[in-house]
Amino acid sequence: MSLASLVGGFVLRHWKAYASSAVMLAGVAVCTVWVPRKVGAMIDGLAAHTLSSHGLTIGILQLLALGVAIYVLRVSWRIRLYGAAYRLGVELRTRLYARLSAQGPAFYQKQRTGDLMALATNDIDAIEMAAGEAMLAGFDGTLTLIMVLGVMLLGVDYRLALIALLPFPLMGLAFWYISRHIHTAETDSLKRFSTLNDHVQESLSGVRTVRALGLEARSSSQFSELAGQAADASLTAQKWEAAYEPAVGLTLTAASTLTLGLGGYLVWNNQLTIGALTSFTMYLGQLIWPMFAAGWVLSLIERGRAGLARLQPMLDAPLTVVDEGSLTRIEDGPLVLRDVHFAYGGASGEVTRPALDGVSVALRPGMTLGLVGPTGAGKSTLLRVLLRQATPQAGAVTWGGHPLESYQLAALRAATSWVPQESFLFSASIAENIALARPGASRAEIEQAADMAAIHDDILRFPQGYDTPVGEKGITLSGGQRQRVAIARSLLAESSLLLMDDALSAVDTGTETRILEHLAELRANKPELSAIIASHRLSAVVNADLIVVLKEGRIVESGDHDTLLALDGWYASQWRYQQLEASLDAA
């Protein structure tokens, strides 16, 4: 979509605001054009001694009234037009946010957070200015230019008008040359700001790591370099924008020189009055705004084009997870994976070694499945497939007899509670973070979920209890506390499937035991609740109905705890090692 079609479509949808602004701008132009003509007539009357003191007073009052009318109309159309233009920014930001919210993890693996934030701020601001400031400046400048030239040609003297216009084609050529360089400079400026924004976001998000490694000086040096590059790019764009003013100044100087030369000759030969020459000179001065407006409009349009060129690919980016399902409710029945194959794409698009290779497993309602295996075995990937964050290249996943793709994503997410490896908390209170799963939950329900997650006592030790703000990403809490708050959030949700992705890694074995006991109690009271627990700690899955051992994306062992111990394979070896490790820690 081009900038013209985007802005044009927006103007058509909000034509009332633009039409009323145009009417007020037309009123400003009429009043502005009337002023020199009135002044010229008054000068001729004074020179001919035909203007009385009363007439002079009336004329001055009329000029004052015109000034007040111009002021009121200018303020009014700015409020009216900018109010409409800001809605375009709201629409674009809403579209961008909705698109980003619908994208899956594969999309964000290729994007930078700082760049996306820059799109939502600087780039959309540039498009918004093209729809607001550029539109009003273009209309106002064009209307003023037409009316002033019309009066100069038809109302004063066409000979002066024609000779005054001789330098203007050269100015048009200069504007064309400058606008080409502005587009390049503005594109580079937006990219540099995006890079700077990304560095700031990463540095602030990882401030603990930066401090721990003593990288403050290095990070500051990188910031200074990136800030300098962004400033230089912006300065380059501003230099090219500043080139409009000399082009306008030279053109109007040449036009004024030609006008005074011919005008003086005509006045000397009594072919033109002094008042008429004064009016013409004032009209020529009024051409300064249309010329500056032309340069300003071209600059804003080029900046808007550069912003849209960066924004449009994000708005048009295909969804990594397509939501075309029609079922709005999860059907009762088993969750089944049949010969599922999945491989991640490499940085250049090539397919890497399969993360899941022919995985088949079935989970009945109310059943607990344990996923274990060495690092990189495919445990998290399997959970991502169930969450539809990743789409298998082969095989099928069904729930209640229907493929996962047949369910709407909203229905699938509502039926699933997920505790990821990296627990994420929002900048809100502890209670609000737990209640994200059920915003209408009572404080008693929130506390019950926290108690089941073994975090209730910790929360009560905080000065503000459940109302304690956790800070950005839960920075005020320890890793184990963040993990348990996330578990409490998942337990509060009214879902039928609980997915825990190594969610007990940051807690001690005693706390782990308490959480698992509470989870068993919850399942006893809610027999339809199914659970899949992926863990490196085998103690987390020892009571699971079925334990699956993954290695390099394949199932190499399966069965309950006793069966796997009898097989004396990877599970049994790892169990003995972890039991020995636990006994040494206890000693």
pLDDT score recorded for residue 40: 66
- pLDDT tops 70 at residue 400: yes
pLDDT score recorded for residue 155: 62
Q: Which residue has the higher pLDDT, 329 or 479?
A: 329
Which of 34-43, 168-177, 323-332, 342-351 has the weakest average pLDDT? 342-351
**Are the CB atoms for 104 and 390 separated by under 8 Å?**
yes
Neighbour tally for 88: CB within 10 Å: 23
Average pLDDT on 488-495 reads 85
Q: Can you tell me which residue has the tokens 């009216």?
A: 80
For the domain spanning 325-415+495-587, the CATH number is 3.40.50.300
- pLDDT tops 80 at residue 75: no
Residues ≥6 apart with Cβ < 8 Å to 457:
none
pLDDT score recorded for residue 361: 92
Instruction: Tell me phi and psi for residue 338, to 5 degrees.
Output: -120, 110
**Are the CB atoms for 252 and 165 separated by under 8 Å?**
no
pLDDT score recorded for residue 519: 82
Average pLDDT on 133-153 reads 72
- CATH fit for domain 422-494, picks 3.40.50.300, 3.40.50.720, 3.40.190.10, 3.30.450.20: 3.40.50.300
Give CATH superfamily name and number for 3-316.
ABC transporter type 1, transmembrane domain (1.20.1560.10)
What are the residue boundaries of the structural domains of the chain, listed by start? 3-316, 325-415+495-587, 422-494
pLDDT score recorded for residue 549: 92
Average pLDDT on 524-535 reads 84
Average pLDDT on 510-536 reads 83
* Single pTM value for the model: 0.68
Which three-class secondary structure state does DSSP give residue 554? Answer: strand
CA distance 400 to 339: 18
**Are the CB atoms for 270 and 90 separated by under 8 Å?**
no
Which residues does residue 342 pair with via DSSP β-bridges, in sequence order?
Answer: 356
Average pLDDT on 188-193 reads 80
- DSSP symbol at 152: I
Average pLDDT on 37-56 reads 70
Q: Which two tokens stand for residue 163?
A: 């000779």
pLDDT score recorded for residue 36: 65
User: Average per-residue pLDDT in the chain?
Assistant: 80
**Are the CB atoms for 340 and 394 separated by under 8 Å?**
yes
Is residue 531 left, alpha or beta, with left meaning phi > 0 and alpha meaning psi from -120 to 50? Answer: beta
Average pLDDT on 7-28 reads 75
Q: Which residue has the higher pLDDT, 169 or 41?
A: 169
Average pLDDT on 425-450 reads 86
Which of 38-47, 356-365, 407-416 has the weakest average pLDDT? 38-47
CA distance 358 to 498: 23
Q: For the sheet with 368-372, list strands across it.
A: 416-419, 497-501, 530-534, 368-372, 546-551, 554-559
Q: Which two tokens stand for residue 169?
A: 């084609």
Tell me the pLDDT band of 369, cut-offs 50, 70 and 90.
very high
State the distance between the two ends of the chain, measured CA to CA, in whole angstroms.
Answer: 69
Residue 58, amino acid: I
Tell me the pLDDT band of 154, cut-offs 50, 70 and 90.
low
- DSSP symbol at 519: H
Q: 140-154, 214-228, 243-257, 417-431: which has the highest mean pLDDT?
A: 417-431
Q: Can you tell me which residue has the tokens 């940051």?
A: 506
Domains 3-316 and 422-494 share a fold: no
Q: Where are the beta strands (DSSP E) in 93-218?
A: none
pLDDT score recorded for residue 585: 64
- pLDDT tops 70 at residue 453: yes
- pLDDT tops 80 at residue 515: yes
Q: Which two tokens stand for residue 53?
A: 């003191």
Average pLDDT on 356-366 reads 90
- pLDDT tops 60 at residue 351: no
pLDDT score recorded for residue 352: 67
Residue among 276, 254, 200 at smallest CA distance from 47: 276
CA distance 468 to 418: 24
- pLDDT tops 70 at residue 346: no
- pLDDT tops 80 at residue 134: no
**Are the CB atoms for 14 and 87 separated by under 8 Å?**
yes
Residues ≥6 apart with Cβ < 8 Å to 93:
120, 124
Is residue 552 left, alpha or beta, with left meaning phi > 0 and alpha meaning psi from -120 to 50? Answer: left
Give me the numbers of helices (H) and strands (E) for the chain, helices first please. 23, 10
Using only C-alpha atoms, the chain has a radius of gyration, in whole angstroms, of 36
What percent of the chain lies above the pLDDT cut of 90?
Answer: 6
Average pLDDT on 163-178 reads 76
Which of 221-225, 283-287, 386-390, 483-487 has the weakest average pLDDT? 283-287
**Are the CB atoms for 459 and 466 separated by under 8 Å?**
yes
Tell me the pLDDT band of 257, cut-offs 50, 70 and 90.
confident
pLDDT score recorded for residue 156: 66
pLDDT score recorded for residue 502: 83
Average pLDDT on 419-438 reads 84
- pLDDT tops 70 at residue 37: no
Q: Which residue has the higher pLDDT, 265 or 185?
A: 185
pLDDT score recorded for residue 44: 66
pLDDT score recorded for residue 338: 92
